[in-house]
Chains A and B, each alone.
Chain A
Amino acid sequence: MTLERPDRADPYLDLDEYEPEADLMVLNFGPQHPSTHGVFRVVMYLDGETIVKAVPYAGYLHRGVEKLCEKLTYAQITPIVDKNDYVAPMFNEQAVNMAFEALTGTEVPIRAQYIRTIVGEIQRVASHLLWLGTFAMDLGGAIGGGTSVFMWCFREREMILDLFEHLTGCRFHYNTHTLGGNRHDIPAGWAEKVHATLGHIAQRVDEYEAILDHPIFKARTEGVGVISAQLALDLGLTGPLLRASGVDHDLRRDAPYNIYDQLDVQVMTDTGGDCAARYRVRVREMRESIRIARALVDNVPPGPICGTKPIKLPVQTRVKDGQVYVALETPRGELGTYVIGGGDNRNASPYRLKIRPPSLHALSALPYVLPGHGVSDAVAILGSLDPIMGEADR
């Protein structure tokens, strides 16, 4: 029996009142499952093969980062928050440092802003590549001959990691942003490498699109997991999820930070709101990011890369009070940092640091979207949300 897919299911459905004769089956999915992308658990109540109610459980990777940040000084926090969104660490670093800069009123030199923008856009490509690879793998080996797309995406992602290794010395967890700027300047020959790598990846993206233009992929994504624009806004979904539902909103254009106000960022939207729309938005964003990064990397103005001194050993910053909220657009959406100044270590630590995780908002859509779908669709929907548990649970 197939239930019709409600536009917005009731997450607080009382199962005792649901068709008393129906023989519901309880299926536990996670916390260790290859397609949950980390440790996440959903308990699904099934009527036949159709989900009637889904109850997600988060917190299997709650590492207490916010509590830890209350004990550390501002300069010590950057490498800690690196580990939150481990697929796009550049954005974590930048988010907290932008918040601390707003709190202390530190100016960021223009060259550092260029570098931040460039590495951010390249990181966005890497993050979407990883998403594409794992998403295609979740949808089954039939697509593109086994795990081809996964292998291809990782092949290209490794090239981007090489770029970052050249810049910062690390494959990931870079610790390159700091209060008031960056710690690593662009080395000689890096710009050419960026051009070569991104040019190569731009060609490869066409290849992915060609291989995923596949009847099975379409059947498993089109019309699956539709999130309406109203539901997306209510839930606080951001980034590609919101844009795939047809809302034209991108913090890079609408609340610009760095040098985005001087750039012409194309906001990619789609109207379907389903998994296929989310896939299309992300692929288009990859192209757009490649375009932005390639346009900027030749025009980086000269100057200092850090506003505070000394660069390698930052001075202790002390802030008495004040509260700021700063947000930026990551591959997953709005990553916000709310900081209350004036904490331990004689005001050298934040009193409270809250990270607004886009992944947690994305996961909270599950009880509204899953009912009416089959179990195999649940995997597709969960994958298309692109959750990173390190960031959702912190």
Chain B
Amino acid sequence: MAVDESDLPFEHPLYDLMAKMPGLDLATTSVDKLLNWGVRNSLWIFPMATSCCGIEFMAAAASRVDMDRMGTIVRGTPRQSDVMVVAGTITVKMAPRVKRLWDQMPEPKWCVAMGSCAISGDFYRDIYSVIPGIDTVIPVDVYIPGCPPNPEELMGGMLALQEKVALKRAGLRVPPEVRPETAKMIKPRVGRAEDPTREKLIGHHQALQARTLDLTEPADLVEAMTPKAAADGDQEGGA
């Protein structure tokens, strides 16, 4: 998190000069718009394609869907790419490598989680060797659900990312996707193995958040949580 320096005095001789130069403010905003347009339409992808979703990712890059026409060229190296598309299951053995590749990508960078495995671990979630979602390792900007998502859905996700990039660069707030139908969702009845070390309260908290889309912490829950659980809850909520 960057330190907020907006109210600190900042002086530089160049700034005085720039403030006096006629028409410069207009020029910089235009350049900014141009840059914005350029960044938005040349999102180069680094494919973190580990399994089945990787095949659909290839299909999206191939002839029928042809994602390249959005300017999303697939690069084989992290150093030249803007977006990491995590397509597939990430295992405990692979996760440190994903983190390292993510760290090698230059800023600004975005991450797209493609498929249920990258989002939450899918049905491998509770297995000893699989991490429950890539967002426990790196921050994710767009989630594309499906097992696997169609190439068209992947393209929709990339369009959503373009929108997000445009808003962010313009300094606007990105509204979260509102899905009223999630409010009606009930807990699935199929039992699943529980992680014994996980705080029950956190799961409850997350379920409530997902249902109400209310991202503020309910007061009674905060109170009910032990200090340790509260700290964990913050982390989980922020991830």
Contacts and interface: CB of A to CB of B under 8 A. Distances in A.
A390 B48 contact: no
Given A38-B51, A173-B148, A80 B123 contact: yes
B64 A154 contact: yes
A256 interface: no
Contacts of B88: 61
A39 B127 contact: no
Interface in B25-58: 47-52, 54-56, 58
Contact of A173 (B76, B94, B147): B147
B128 interface: yes
Interface in A1-60: 31-34, 38-39, 59-60
A379 to B, nearest CB: 12
A61 B58 CA distance: 18
Contact of A158 (B47, B59, B148): B59
Contacts of A154: 58-59, 62-64
A389 B91 CA distance: 13
A63 B62 CA distance: 28
A235 to B, nearest CB: 24
Given A60-B91, A61-B94, A130 B55 contact: yes
Interface in B92-109: 93-94, 97-98, 101
Nearest to B122: A83
Instruction: From B47, B52, B54, B76, name the one whose CB has the most chain A CB atoms within 10 angstroms.
Output: B52
B52 A172 contact: yes
Contacts, number: 89
A145 to B, nearest CB: 14
Interface in B105-162: 123-124, 127-130, 147-148, 150
Contacts of B64: 154-155, 158
A64 B128 contact: yes
B89 interface: yes
Interface in A101-135: 130, 133-134
B128 A67 contact: yes
Nearest to A58: B93
Nearest to B51: A390
A322 to B, nearest CB: 27
Interface residues of B, number: 33
A389 B51 contact: yes
A61 B51 contact: yes
B63 A151 contact: yes
Contact of A68 (B51, B62, B124): B124
Given A150-B62, A171-B150, A173-B148, A67 B50 contact: no
Contact of B123 (A61, A68, A134, A155): A68
Contacts of A34: 47, 76
A38 B54 CA distance: 8
B97 A32 contact: yes
B48 A32 contact: yes
Interface string A202-235: 0000000000000000000000000000000000
A62 interface: yes
Nearest to B60: A154
Nearest to B89: A63
A242 interface: no
Nearest to B127: A64
Contact of B127 (A67, A130, A390): A67
Contacts of A33: 76
A60 B124 contact: no
A67 B88 CA distance: 19
Contacts of B55: 86-87, 130, 172
A173 B76 CA distance: 27
Contacts of B130: 63-64
A63 B193 CA distance: 16
Contacts of B58: 134, 154
Contacts of A39: 50, 94
Interface in A44-100: 59-64, 67-68, 71, 80, 83, 86-87
A128 to B, nearest CB: 14
A83 B51 contact: yes
A38 B58 CA distance: 12
Nearest to B48: A32
B124 A64 contact: yes
A152 interface: yes
Interface string A155-180: 10110000000000001110000000
B129 A63 contact: yes
Given A61-B89, A63-B89, A71-B193, 14 more contacts: A38-B51, A39-B94, A59-B93, A60-B94, A63-B91, A63-B127, A63-B129, A64-B129, A86-B55, A130-B55, A134-B58, A158-B62, A173-B52, A173-B147
9 contacts: A34-B47, A38-B54, A39-B50, A59-B91, A60-B97, A62-B93, A86-B51, A86-B55, A154-B62
Interface of A: 31-34, 38-39, 59-64, 67-68, 71, 80, 83, 86-87, 130, 133-134, 150-152, 154-155, 157-158, 171-173, 389-390
Instruction: List the 5 closest pairs (A to B, CB-CB), nearest first.
Output: A154-B62, A86-B52, A64-B127, A155-B63, A34-B76
